[in-house]
Amino acid sequence: MALKVYGAARTRTVRTLWMMGELGMPYEHVPITTQDGANLKPDFVALNPTGRVPAIDDGGFVLSESMAINLYLAKTYGGALYPATPQGEARAWQWSFWAVTEIDKTIIDWALHSSVLPEAERDPKRARTARLEMERPLHTLDQTLARVPWLVEDRFTVADLNAASVMYRALWMDLDDKPHARDWLHRCWDRPAARAARTMRE
């Protein structure tokens, strides 16, 4: 039975669809949305108690949380997509948690109030506050990528995929004063698997 990926591409599931593309494995996509509450229907909650997407079902093993799913997929099926050393692995965890704690909610707030919402509903002050909150983490990222092309070891790994996937909205952010972070972000999202996931989303 093929691995199942639950969640519509326009949700955080895009992160896992990108990973599936990198793996080149066959899978079944069940595009559950959150907007109509399908994620909270009894049959989905019975399968995935968190009721969140993305979730995967790998031969009966059901997992949620996009970052955890991608780490699991990379480690189980991804070969060089997963770091080779214990330190590299810990660093991939660090960047994945960094993306969630420092970027995830803030960048959505920035995107909503700078471009996504209808103009009349945007609050420019919230957009500015969100952008300001991201200044320090973006600086950290840029400084790191000034020294190395990828976040962990010497190649694209799940660390890059997880961090860049959370930063999707930053593709439209002026990052000219963070050129290393900007170039890395575009390098990640220019990968064929990323482009394919993005096409599913848009």
Q: How many residues bind its own copies (CB under 8 A)?
A: 33
Reduced to 3 states, what is the DSSP secondary structure of residue 26? coil
Residue 150: C-alpha distances to residues 32, 141, 144 (Å): 33, 11, 9
Reduced to 3 states, what is the DSSP secondary structure of residue 6? strand
Does residue number 31 form part of the binding site for its own copies (CB under 8 A)?
no
SS3 for 35-58 is: CCCHHHCHHHHHHCCCCCCCEEEE
Q: Which range of residues in 2-10, 23-31, 61-69, 167-175 is near its own copies by CB under 8 A?
A: 61-69
Does residue number 189 form part of the binding site for its own copies (CB under 8 A)?
no
Among 2, 28, 61, 123, binds its own copies (CB under 8 A): 61
Q: Which two tokens stand for residue 158?
A: 């799940």
Among 30, 38, 68, 112, binds its own copies (CB under 8 A): 68
Tell which positions 74-133 bind its own copies, by CB under 8 A: 75-76, 86-87, 89-91, 93-94, 96-98, 100-101, 104-105
Pairing of strands 55-58, 3-6: antiparallel
Minimum CB–partner distance for residue 91 and its own copies (Å)? 7
Residue 152: C-alpha distances to residues 11, 96, 175 (Å): 26, 11, 22
Tell which positions 128-147 bind its own copies, by CB under 8 A: 136-137, 140, 143-144
Minimum CB–partner distance for residue 18 and its own copies (Å)? 17
10 Å Cβ neighbour count for 49? Answer: 11
Q: Which range of residues in 15-23, 29-37, 65-73, 148-156 is near its own copies by CB under 8 A?
A: 65-73
Query: For the chain, percent helix, then strand, then coil, each to nearest 5?
Result: 65, 10, 30
Binding residues vs its own copies (CB under 8 A): 49-51, 61, 63-65, 67-69, 71-72, 75-76, 86-87, 89-91, 93-94, 96-98, 100-101, 104-105, 136-137, 140, 143-144
